Amino acid sequence: MEVPLIDLVRQYRTLQGEIDEAIRRVVESGRFIGGPEVEALEEEVARYVGVRYAIGVASGTDALWLSLMALGVGPEDEVITTPFTFAATAEAIALLGARPVFVDVDPQTYCIDPGRIEEAITPRTKAIVPVHLFGQPVDWEPIEEIAKRYGLFMIEDGAQAIGAEYRGRKACSLGHVGCLSFFPTKNLGAYGDGGMVTTDDPEMADRIKVLRVHGAGEKYAHKVLGTNSRLDAIQAAVLRAKLPHTDRWNARRREIAALYDELLREVDWVVTPYVRPGCLHVYHQYSVRVPDRDRVRERLAEVGVATAVHYPIPLHLQGAFRYLGYKEGNFPVAEKVSREVLSLPIFPELTDEEVRYVAKRLMEASGV
Ligand SMILES: Cc1ncc(COP(=O)(O)O)c(C=O)c1O
């Protein structure tokens, strides 16, 4: 049996009529950038997340970058984040000339460890960017308490976490600003790049709307420096067709995760994902930890099981961030997790039979 890590065509087949119709509607409207599809999606996502404003942008990376820009983050500032995330999180900070300050992760959730944040705060710290990693919300309240005490902005990197909840509150409704990615493989994925900024703050919403069109409040009146970061109408229409299915898809991901948990429960060398009490996980990834990870991965590939490693090199050891001066050993938890972590296939259309096959093959792939 061949089990892919993700299969977007299977999902398309289940919604083919609605998606084809959505794309046709845009092509026949002749409006490809912004316009009614984007505005409708913005309203629908704002309602779904539970915020007043959602502003479509070109990608999750831009959602982060523009949010930080709108908050005035610049070369004098430090922004606290996790070293165990996709590069975009820290890149958005660094591209504004600010300094990403990494804080090690929690050994159970692999999200930023709230207990270590305070020691990283300096007079230059302006914001914290926690990442809801793999679809599980970070332990929000202790971080929020610190941010309030020190007067810091909170920007959620919710790229992997649409629909996730922390104590009944949706990811991307918790901070000053939330950032979503609609990269095709995300839990709500477009057919190209896309992203969104969510906020309750009307001034923040206005600033993002200006920044995404070259800093122009009115056409050709450029108040500030901005960029081209628009969500296109075809992506918005595809996302509108998919959004109503997101909760059902996330529920199916949880079902798959529960089946993996059950099948792997007795396997003492496999560490399955930990879910914090009070968190609704949406399993963008189902990532286990195993010894001799690369061997296990190779053995799984030999029997047709595709896997991935999120992420093999923590950001403080990446070439792009070498200039920050971190060394191996600075963030031991992130370093250990990045050596052991292995993402198994998970997507809503994966069958129970496939899940059983993956679990069985994983049990046979032990290098220990
Ligand atoms: C945690 C995280 N942050 C940011 C991004 C960037 O999103 P995008 O690829 O839409 O730019 C991604 C996904 O790619 C991500 O997983």
Q: Is the CB of 159 under 6 A from ligand 1?
A: yes
CA nearest to 129, candidates 106, 166, 103, 164: 103
Nearest-atom index, ligand 1, CA of 160? 16
Q: Is the CB of 181 under 6 A from ligand 1?
A: yes
CA of 103 to the centre of ligand 1 (A): 19
| Phi (first) and psi of residue 54, to 5 degrees | -135, 130
Going by their DSSP bridges, the two strands 165-166 and 177-181 should be labelled as unpaired
pLDDT of amino acid 366: 81
Let me know how long the chain is: 368
Q: In the chain, where does the domain assigned CATH 3.40.640.10 lie? A: 8-103+110-244
Q: Whose CA is nearest to atom 10 of ligand 1?
A: 60
Residue 347 and residue 7 in contact, taking contact as beta carbons nearer than 8 Å: yes
Q: In the chain, where does the domain assigned CATH 3.90.1150.10 lie? A: 246-364
Q: Whose CA is nearest to atom 7 of ligand 1?
A: 60
141, containing H or E segment = helix 140-150
pLDDT of amino acid 220: 85
pLDDT of amino acid 217: 85
Cβ neighbors of 286 (< 8 A, separation 6 or more) are 134, 253, 256, 257, 260, 273, 343, 344, 346
Q: Is the CB of 187 under 6 A from ligand 1?
A: no
240, containing H or E segment = helix 233-242
197, containing H or E segment = strand 195-199
Nearest-atom index, ligand 1, CA of 92? 4
Nearest-atom index, ligand 1, CA of 62? 11
CA nearest to 155, candidates 94, 50, 71, 229: 71
Rounded to whole angstroms, the Cα distance separating 152 from 176 reads 10
Q: Is the CB of 89 under 6 A from ligand 1?
A: yes
Q: Is the CB of 60 under 6 A from ligand 1?
A: yes
Give the distance, in angstroms, between the CA of residue 302 and the centroid of all CA atoms in the same chain.
30
Q: Is the CB of 90 under 6 A from ligand 1?
A: no
pTM score, whole prediction: 0.97
Residue 133 and residue 111 in contact, taking contact as beta carbons nearer than 8 Å: yes
Task: Return the CATH fold of 246-364.
Answer: Aspartate Aminotransferase, domain 1 (3.90.1150)
pLDDT of amino acid 368: 53
CA of 271 to the centre of ligand 1 (A): 25
Cβ neighbour number for residue 268 with a 10 Å cutoff: 8
What is residue 23's three-state secondary structure? Answer: helix
| Phi (first) and psi of residue 83, to 5 degrees | -85, -10
CA–CA distances in Å: residue 43 to residues 47, 50, 53, 56: 6, 10, 7, 10
CA of 158 to the centre of ligand 1 (A): 9
Q: What is the pLDDT along the chain (368 residues), one digit of tens a residue?
A: 999 999 999 999 999 999 999 999 999 999 999 999 999 999 999 999 999 999 999 999 999 999 999 999 999 999 999 999 999 999 999 999 999 999 999 999 999 999 999 999 999 999 999 999 999 999 999 999 999 999 999 999 999 999 999 999 999 999 999 999 999 999 999 999 999 999 999 999 999 999 999 999 888 889 899 999 999 999 999 999 999 999 999 999 999 999 999 999 999 999 999 999 999 999 999 999 999 999 999 999 999 999 999 999 999 999 999 999 999 999 999 999 999 999 999 999 999 999 999 999 999 998 55
Angle, vertex CA 76, rays to CA 70 and CA 81, nearest 5 = 70
Q: Whose CA is nearest to atom 13 of ligand 1?
A: 159
Looking at the domain covering 8-103+110-244, what would its CATH class be?
Answer: alpha beta
Nearest-atom index, ligand 1, CA of 133? 1
CA of 178 to the centre of ligand 1 (A): 13
Ligand 1 pocket test, pick from 57, 85, 86 with the greatest ligand atom count within 8 Å of Cβ, gives 86
DSSP sequence for 172-193: TSSSSEEEEE--TTSSS--SS-
Q: Is the CB of 82 under 6 A from ligand 1?
A: no
